[in-house]
Amino acid sequence: MHPIFQMILTLAVGALGGYILYRLKVPGGLSMGALIAVGVFSLLTGWARSIPNIKVIMQVSSGMIIGSRITKATVKHLKNIWKIYLVTMALFILQTILMAFLMYACTDYDIITCFFSLSPGGQTDMTILSADYGAQSAIVAMMHSFRMILIYLIIPFVVRKVAETDGDEAYIGQEKSDVKPNVIDWIFVLIFALVLGYLFKLIDLSGATMFGSIIGGALYSIFIREYRMPKILSSVNMVLSGTYSGTLITVSMLHAMTELWIGLLFITGFLLICLVVDSLILRKIFRIQRLTSMFICSPGGLSEICLLAEELGGDIPTVATLQTARLLTVVFTISSLAPVMQLIASWIR
């Protein structure tokens, strides 16, 4: 089958799967339905094919949506979150180190492979960096792919339970707005997002395009006028994101998972610790809303977490800012700690 027809068919399958779970009122149903449908389609036919540069498209559009949430009022709130950032990163790094040594002790993988596999950074960055340090980069890529899929499978159901517990608890930064969607705003914001997204892309870090798009949208919202993107854009983004993740599910990936089951257990355990323990710590220290604390502590992709926060509820500006800071910080921190981890591992064995 021609690649173009494969892409069209993949999108159709993803849209159908997302629509079905959405109609069934499953939390995160648009993304989860698309992921499951495309994953099954990929396994049965091998025809699943992602759109070229789909991540760039999702990052720019997501940045425009998130940027619309950042107004003069939210800026006053955002400048007060540096303490949350420090605590979150300290927890992430400490837990990554401890879990990496535990995985190192329980498997035959080298310490660098374990370290980069469990690091809460972007898949592309961690895979490339791990290769530079002599790790098994294929294993690292597989682990991060599994983590991204796990994010979609776990978070929506956990959030539903949390929402039932919290009731109608309000959160900072997500106020009702009387601003109506306007086509002129969309055009100018798109220009801002594309320009700044491209400039930040030159940094060549995971999430740089989305970060630039967020800044572009935020600058427009703060200094020109507030705007709102059409609601359907968020829905389309959720379907695209789930579809992209579904294309990662292949027969070879499943075969590899049977050999990596111990490592996958560590990934699952690390994710649950971040979601449950870390979010509880943030909630107790800073008195922030539970859903927001869980999204802040979710070590997933920037686009995926922000899209889920947009659909399921959360303080979008805070989540987007802290998730971006996490990705940028992890790249430099993990790179600096890798030689130290190798040295300590050489003493242990």
Note the pLDDT of residue 92: 92
Burial of 283 (C-beta count, 10 Å sphere; 0-12/13-18/19+): middle
Structural domain including 293 reads 3-348
Whether pLDDT at 172 is above 70: no
3-state secondary structure labels for all residues of the chain? CCHHHHHHHHHHHHHHHHHHHHHCCCCCHHHHHHHHHHHHHHHHHCCCCCCCCHHHHHHHHHHHHHHCCCCHHHHHHHCCCHHHHHHHHHHHHHHHHHHHHHHHHHCCCCHHHHHHHHCCCCHHHHHHHHHHCCCCHHHHHHHHHHHHHHHHHHHHHHHHHHHHHHCCCCCCCCCCCCCCCCHHHHHHHHHHHHHHHHHHHCCCCCCHHHHHHHHHHHHHHHHCCCCCCCHHHHHHHHHHHHHHHHHCCCHHHHHHHHHCHHHHHHHHHHHHHHHHHHHHHHHHHHCCCHHHHHHHCCCCCHHHHHHHHHHHCCCHHHHHHHHHHHHHHHHHHHHHHHHHHHHHHHHHC
Q: Which amino acid, 334? A: I
Stretch 55-77: mean pLDDT: 77
Cα-based distances in Å from 338 to 98, 102, 103, 246: 13, 16, 15, 31
- Report the 10 Å Cβ neighbour count for 212: 25
Note the pLDDT of residue 331: 74
Stretch 54-65: mean pLDDT: 80
User: What are the tens digits of pLDDT across the range 280-313?
Assistant: 899 889 888 888 888 888 887 666 677 777 777 7
Question: Count of residues for the chain?
Answer: 349
User: What are the tens digits of pLDDT across the range 78-113?
Assistant: 677 888 999 999 999 999 999 999 989 888 888 998
More confident residue, 325 or 48: 48
User: What are the tens digits of pLDDT across the range 113-127?
Assistant: 899 989 987 766 687
User: What are the tens digits of pLDDT across the range 2-53?
Assistant: 888 999 999 999 999 999 988 987 766 787 788 889 989 999 998 898 888 7
User: What are the tens digits of pLDDT across the range 220-247?
Assistant: 988 998 888 887 887 888 888 788 878 8
Q: What mean pLDDT, rounded, does the chain reach?
A: 80
User: What's the number of domains the chain is made of?
Assistant: 1
CA atoms within 13 A on the CB side of 292: 24
Note the pLDDT of residue 168: 42
Asked if residues 209 and 19 have their Cβ atoms less than 8 Å apart, the reply is no
- Least Cα distance to 209 among 316, 307, 64 occurs for 64
Q: Which residue has the tokens 């998730």?
A: 323
Rounded to whole angstroms, the Cα distance separating 194 from 50 reads 22
pLDDT tier at 173, thresholds 50, 70, 90: very low
